[in-house]
Amino acid sequence: VSQIRRDALSDSWVICAPQRDARPEEFVEAQLPGPPVLICPFCGGNESATPEATLVIGDPEANDEVTWAVRVVPNRYPAVTDGDRRLEEGTGASRPSHPDLFQVSPLSGGHEVIIESPLHVQSLTDLSERHAAMVFDAYARRLRYWYGQSGIDYVVVFKNVGAAAGASLRHTHSQLVASSMLPPRVAELSQRVKAHYEREKKCLLCQMLADELGEESRIVARTPRFVAYCPFASRLPYLMRVVPLEHQESFESLETAAIGELAALTRRLLRLLESMHSPAAYNYVIQTRPHRTACSNSFHWWLEIFPRLTKTAGFEWGSDCYINPVLPETAAGHLRILSRRIAPRGDRGVQVDFSG
């Protein structure tokens, strides 16, 4: 059972999930007679190597025995688990003399893997625009499912690519974590944007976006519904934020055409990162409104891409303050130039404008 512990000194909470320690690095051994055979559990044909799917999106163009395009399965090594919500008394041999300084709570929820293709491809950019849209549709459907479950206060979709970004399997996939606890940073963010709305009668992100669009230098790309930019105070070099131009509280309520547009834009941005460094290491995260706690007028959802070009080092660990060696204006300019050098590859549907 996962639990969440509070560090009284930093007032930060940590999810303890010892069950994840057993996860394999790359492949699992097939249960076959004879010498061990290594198989990728995410490849089409190896469905028995993963738990039963919670969502399958079929491929209308499939012509052989693998008929799925996107498959969502429970994570075998979950960070958050469902089931027993009781917490065993104590966590070690002795009880602390000041239990309030060693707070611990049970944590429940779910942890799923979104397998983005039956083929052993290693990037979302290897998929067609149409297929990438199916992946984002799976995100939206699972977010709607988990936000419909009682006792779930926070659901996040994210992707880890490359060892430096925490990925343990290469086959292209994303993840979803649903949790009974709203992480304190997200709770504080929700409070901050709510306070801004009450003061200004305007959404904070809408206001920041208007200024970014006016300034132009940090804009990377636009589509009719979205804009991608390197934020004014980016924590990491080449960090990109993708936001809807119109105020929208939640990603999972997007209509199909908008989901396709977002997937196409994200795929194009990831190709820029891959053209800079190969193999690329990055994370992306979709921050959508925590349903029960955040206010819909003030919470504006976004997708953020975190390239892992620098290492988190002593200063960052000690101060929680990041040192970014690349100005976001420089990063955005470089990304716009790169976009002109990359030949289109299966980009038919969505027009992405990199003119800044």
For residue 4, what is the DSSP state? E
What is the 3-class SS of 101-113, one letter each residue? HCCEEECEEEEEE
> Is the CB of residue 238 less than 8 Å from the CB of residue 326?
yes
Comparing CB distances to Zn ion, the nearer of 238 and 302 is 302
- Residue 113 CB, shortest distance to Zn ion, in Å, is 12
Cα separation, 164 vs 162, in Å, equals 5
Nearer to Zn ion, 271 or 300 (CB): 300
Chain contacts with Zn ion (rule: CB under 5 A): 40, 42-43, 120, 171, 203, 205-206, 247, 300
- Nearer residue to Zn ion within complex by CB, 40 or 104: 40
Q: Smallest distance, Å, CB 2 to Zn ion?
A: 27
State the nearest-atom distance from the C-beta of 161 to Zn ion, in Å: 14
Compute the distance between CA of residue 288 and CA of residue 201 in angstroms, rounded to an integer.
Answer: 21
Nearest distance from residue 200's CB to Zn ion, in Å?
Answer: 11
Q: Minimum distance from CB of 311 to Zn ion (Å)?
A: 28
User: Shortest Cβ distance from residue 146 to Zn ion (Å)?
Assistant: 23
Identity of the residue, 81 or 190, whose beta carbon is nearer to Zn ion in the bound complex: 190
Listed in sequence order, the residues at least 6 apart from 147 whose beta carbon sits closer than 8 Å to its beta carbon are: 155, 252, 291
Please report, for residues 53, 261, 354, the alpha-carbon distance to residue 61 in angstroms, rounded to integers and kept in the order given: 21, 21, 31
Nearer to Zn ion, 179 or 250 (CB): 250
**Residue whose CB is less far from Zn ion, 291 or 300:** 300
Q: Are 314 and 320 in contact (CB under 8 A)?
A: no
The distance between the two most distant Cα atoms of the chain, rounded to a whole number of Å, is 69
Contact 234, 323 (CB under 8 A): no
Q: How many CB atoms lie within 10 A of CB 137?
A: 19
3 state SS of 45: coil
Strands annotated E in the chain: 3-7, 12-16, 28-30, 37-39, 55-58, 68-74, 104-106, 109-115, 154-161, 173-179, 219-222, 226-229, 240-244, 282-287, 302-307
- Write out the two tokens for 88: 């065993």
Our CB check for Zn ion shows the closer of 268 and 300 to be 300
Residue 41 Cα to chain centre, angstroms: 21
Q: Measured from the CB atom, is 56 or 206 closer to Zn ion?
A: 206
